Amino acid sequence: MIMLGAVQLFEAAGFEALVAFSSDEAVAHLEGRSGIVVTFIEYDVPGTINGAQLAETVRNRWPTIEIIVVSRPRPGETPDLPLGARYFEKPYTHAEIERALDQLGLTGTVPRARTNLPPRGA
């Protein structure tokens, strides 16, 4: 249900949303497709690497792709994310994500751009 909300948010912003159910599937999407401009990563993504490591992989291998990471609240802990990654604790609002996309210059400029969404949670 929450993932569906994230998909709808990105599609309403003009993106084609690709859903990955693990960090491994997310990397496969990135390796197999061009045109992805933003990743929307769940910190607790299942797979061989966590969301912070996935964000670092994206930054190192695809430096032009923007990164948004979402997570449950982590009292006393700040996720170690790559430079430029945006981070939101749940529950976040659609307006916060829309503002981040706007600040990244991604609203209204890239018709049907691809985004890689989290396996669950948004």
The CATH number linked to 84 is 3.40.50.2300
**Using CA of residue 48, residue 52, residue 56, residue 58, what is the dihedral sign?**
positive
pLDDT for position 24:
97
**65 occurs within a structural domain:** yes
Token pair listed for 69? 């990471």
pLDDT tops 50 at residue 112: no
Token pair listed for 83? 């430079």
Mean pLDDT of 65-77: 91
**120 occurs within a structural domain:** no
At 27, the amino acid letter reads V
pLDDT tops 60 at residue 103: yes
| Stated pTM of the model | 0.84
Mean pLDDT of 63-73: 94
pLDDT for position 110:
43
Domain containing 38 equals: 2-106
At 49, the amino acid letter reads I
**121 occurs within a structural domain:** no
What are the pLDDT digits (tens) for 21-60?
Answer: 999 999 999 999 999 999 999 999 999 999 999 999 999 9
**63 occurs within a structural domain:** yes
Question: For the chain, what is the domain count?
Answer: 1
Distance from C-alpha of 116 to C-alpha of 17, rounded to nearest angstrom: 6
What mean pLDDT value characterizes the chain? Answer: 85
**In this prediction, what percent of the chain has a pLDDT beyond 90?**
52
**In this prediction, what percent of the chain has a pLDDT beyond 70?**
84
pLDDT tops 70 at residue 91: yes
